[in-house]
Structures are given as C-alpha cells and as structure tokens.
Amino acid sequence: MKIFEFIEKNIKPGCILILSISAALLIGTMDGADAGVVEEMPMGIYIGWGLLTLIGLNALFKWNEMENEAQYWRTEAERIQQHHEAVLTRIYSRPVEKKRAYDREKE
C-alpha cells in the first residue's frame, strides 16, 4: 500500500517532468536537425510528438485547475457546516421560555 501512496503523491510532478523533458527533446532534436547535427526525422513524427506533448501538458494544467476547484468546494462545504453548527448551537443553547396560557380576564 505504501507504493500506491508514493505514486499518488508523486504522479503529477512525475508527469510534469516527463512532459517537460519530452518538449525539450523535441525542440532540441528539431534544432539539431536544422543545424545538421542529428539526422532529420519525417515531419509527421515531429508533429505527432509535439501534439502528444502539448495535449499532455494541457491535461496537467486542467488537472491542477480541477484539484484547486475541488479544494475550494471542500473548504466551502466545511465553512457552511461550521456555520450551521454555530447557528444550531445558538438556537438550542437559549433558555426555554415558559409558555403562557391565554388569560381572558387580563384583556
């Protein structure tokens, strides 16, 4: 079970690292091919590689936004629960008023 906890904690930074390295390698390979240092690959490979990297990075940014929104709603739910508890405590901690019978003679 510890391995699952480790993976759960480190999956997002790992994905960011892998996709960042992929983007750096893509740019470096294209630049090196332009300079004649490495052999040029077919354009389809560059396009596919770039699209997969961009889609992965976009998914990571969306993942981060969803985590932030989930944290916001958890905090909001906790705040509302505390408010309700405070209101109920205030209502039920008041001393009970004695009910008075209707007195016709008084009127």
Mean pLDDT per 10-residue segment, the chain (107 residues): 79 85 86 77 85 89 90 96 93 78 67
CA 34, CA 20: separation in Å to the nearest integer? 21
- Looking only at Cα atoms, what is the longest distance across the chain? 111
Domain residue spans of the chain: 2-92
What pLDDT does residue 37 have?
Answer: 76
What pLDDT does residue 99 have?
Answer: 73
Report CA torsion sign: 33, 37, 41, 42: positive
For residue 77, the SS3 value is helix
What pLDDT does residue 103 have?
Answer: 66
Beta strands per DSSP E along 30-78: none
The owner of tokens 């480190």 is: 10
CA distances in angstroms from 5 to 2, 9, 14, 18, listed in the order given? 5, 6, 14, 20
What pLDDT does residue 97 have?
Answer: 72
Amino acid (one-letter) located at 9: K
